Structure 1
Amino acid sequence: MAAAATLTKIRFEKATPAIGARVQGVALDETATPEIVQALREGLHEHGVLFFELGEGVEEAQQRNFARLFGELEPVYGFSTEQQEAQAKRGSGGLIDADFQPLKEYRTAQWHTDGTPFERPPQAAILTAVEPPELGGGTMWASMYAAYEDLSSHFQNLLDGLQVLHGTMRTPFVRERAQSIHPAVIRDPVTGRKALYVNSVYSERFLDMSESESDALMRFLFEHVKSPEFHVALTWRPGTTAVWEERVTQHRAIDAFTGKRKLRRITIKGDKPSA
């Protein structure tokens, strides 16, 4: 009865018809019971991105403890850059500071999903507002379930089974080059739904196609993802935390804001995406 009572207090309030939910009834230092973990992880796969208001002054250790509700933490995320190394020396690793990582220069203001040049991209990511902008500077997410399902059956049949080369060709700020091949369409293991797995920052080309065919199809899909019907937007406030499932969403920052913009990121280890 105690477990059932705990679960009844967790509420998922849909943010849009296609993506996102605001979560009520979860505390910052929530005890990781199996029932709570299952409810949150299933909710994440269903809604794509979850929004929490955890209160002001969330410390890094508290955020990391909260993040463990969603999986095993990655010690360090992703690519080595000069700015990341400078932050690590200052003891601010994991902090996304727009003063050191300009949104346009680092392509975070373009639709993307993290780490697809890796064989095992992150499964999920968590951002907590440390010093949110005075005005603007929010983050948007797009449902790749909805993006796939909105395509005609002809396009779905074309994409099913195609493979895509992902790499760091468009990210000159990355010090180490990386490439990996993933399906153009993947299937989420929890919901069973198919999701488009092509993004404008890291997807370089379709395999077994001519360059002109691949470029035309890529351009179409990059524009398709911009459809507002697939989107949800978040305005950052102190203590706001967003958790998103990397495989079934894309995200982008809004590069129009006043004041500082500091967010702390943690990522969850993932496996190889599969169709």
Structure 2
Amino acid sequence: MRILFLGAGATGGYFGGRLAKAGGDVTFLVRPKRRDQLIRDGIKIESPVGNLTTPVKAITREEISAPYDAVILSSKAYDLSDAIETIRPAVGENTLVLPLLNGLKHLEALDDAFGAPRVLGGMCQISVTLTDDGTIQHFGPFAAVTLGPRLAEQKTASAKLHDVLAKGFDARYSDDVIAAMWGKWFFIAALASSTCLMRATVGEINRTENGREFLANIVSECVAIATANGYPPEQAMLEFTKSLMSDSNSKISASMLRDIERGGRIEAEQIVGDIVRRGRAQNVATPLLETALIHLQAYENRFTPSEPVSR
């Protein structure tokens, strides 16, 4: 399969680089400066599971000459509109689009742009960053992609894509990929809401007088929303979340907090706003998530003043 990765940032660069090293037919769709760097130096990954430097194919949008078999998106939600237009020439009648974005809100936009039969469900779990010199730094041993069909007619093609991706990295196939996406979403919504609202790590919050109760309650709100929408978290994921969020020594915080601390853009609507609205639609009370969302929207309004968000 000819696979196109949009961008060669931390996430897409890691998975695409691993697949390219394993012999996959991988091309990176990037801006001219990054294309020149990739052609000159290849993809560079520093990781506890093994460093690699490998030559890769890289093109700009103007150089797309034919549709690809699959296009993999790992862009931020606030860049999705641009990403859709960038990949449009690469999406043909039989192309699969695999988004690795957080939450579920992006699926509607992708369905509108390319048709639901082309858009799979997917997510990734990885901690990576891109250094100033273009090196991808991977933290910890874990890096996995989960994908699967959203429609029965996608089963054969999505299984084939899984088999190709699994040659390069930990790729997992799910028959209920939306449930898997919810399983990640409820956790990152709780983590982002709590650590951003308190401007602190999980451990720092737990060491306050009522921090443990606060974190438990915000997790409960996220679980209630997922459950009301028909996707209660699996017991193992629920136990993992409760254990992590009650650790007084934890140094973990959401990547969204790091984005705020450096004055960057954030995925407030994709991760927190959308889950709050899905809770409202099911009459789930979410006072803590609502407070966190106001906090995040207020931060965003410093940079992009706008009319009040409609309820």
Bin the TM-score by the shorter chain. under 0.3
Q: Which has the higher contact order (CA 8 A, sep 6+)?
A: 1
Bigger share in helix: 2
Task: Report the TM-score when normalising by structure 2.
Answer: 0.25
Bigger share in strand: 1
Bigger radius of gyration among the two: 2
